Amino acid sequence: MPCLQLAQLAYTFAFMQTASRHRSLLAVLILLAIAFNTAQAASYRYFRVGNKVDVQTKASAGIALMGGGKDLDAAFEWLCNQGNHGDFLVLRATGNDDYNSYINGLCKMNSVATLILSDRQSAQDPRVAEIIRNATVVFIAGGDQSNYIRGWQDTPVQDALNANVALGKPIGGTSAGLAVLGEFVYASLEDQPDGPDLASTDVLPNPYFDRVTLVRNFLKVPGLNNLLTDSHFAKRDRMGRSLVFLARIMQDGWSLHPREVAIDEKSAVLVDADGQATVVGSGKGAYFLHPTEPPETCKESTPLTFKNIDVYRVSTGGHFDFLSWKGDGGVAYRLSVDAGKIHSTQPNGSVY
């Protein structure tokens, strides 16, 4: 029964009571019921432009890995093409629906919508899972990845996202949205809201620094298994912390041979269903990391020693094969960390 009808019935009953005490109590209960139902209804926000009815179309699998910063038209146009003019859904925990007009202006989709899940309660709503499952393309916006892990893990949202990917629907993410796409995730669970980013200088002297919060198996995206994904890479000097994350994954027994795709701002990696990727954008491109041996020293309050990490940097226009882990049009070099200090085989000694 609708909330308004319930309130009317209860209030009629209250009016029939002769004791003012009973009337007051019922009035309070009415207000509580209205407030509860209003909160339930407002637990998520959904904004949509275009057709109001979803369309059935055959999408092509693919992953758009975006490094953050300025949004790249080419990456969104690629996602739209993979979605074959279906329904494009932007998923986020905070913010507004500004992506709707941007994407709708770029692409000829049946609809473009934004679903904002501000708390864990909203992720439990059956309607939310239905919206995600009906989408042809899902894009996870930037923000704070801890909101996604805390709010969506072990909920119908996680199940719906994995179901979409398993059906071959394309998915993408930028910044925090990129961070949660790989099997291994730096979840930033101990970061303070609006506080400073976890820096390489925080963790190289202590790989078990308390803000190094890693989780795994949030999403199961084919091609991103056994992978860590990171964004804003060269711009925010994140190489050191990425090496710590890889060392921790190995030291903690999660994987003997983890890999990483780290993408700079204003760059994106577009991965087809067969694992063939192209780098686009005006940033410094993407870095593909592969440790060749376990860390020598990776323990609490002791500087990291971790040697012979293969790096392949691909600039705009270059390509990389996720299956063979080989690229073309890029630069190959090695990094080693000795007592917290990074050394590079590049002629200028640059880690980037």
Mean pLDDT by 10 residues, the chain (352 residues): 43 43 45 42 87 96 97 98 98 98 97 97 97 98 97 98 98 98 98 92 98 97 97 98 98 98 98 98 97 98 98 98 96 98 97 98
Query: What is the per-residue pLDDT across 137-176, written as a single tens digit (0 to 9) for each?
Result: 999 999 999 999 999 999 999 999 999 999 999 999 999 9
291 close to 246: Cβ distance less than 8 angstroms: yes
Q: What are the phi and psi torsion angles at 319 (to 5°)?
A: -130, 160
Domains in the chain: boundaries: 3-41, 59-344
**pTM for this one?**
0.87
CA distance 13 to 113: 43
- What pLDDT does residue 17 have? 47
- What pLDDT does residue 329 have? 87
Q: What is the CATH number of domain 59-344?
A: 3.40.50.880
Identify the three-state secondary structure at position 254: coil
- What pLDDT does residue 1 have? 46
CA distances from 219 to 53, 156, 267 (A): 27, 12, 22
263 close to 66: Cβ distance less than 8 angstroms: yes
Q: Name the H helices within 172-291.
A: 176-179, 200-203, 239-251
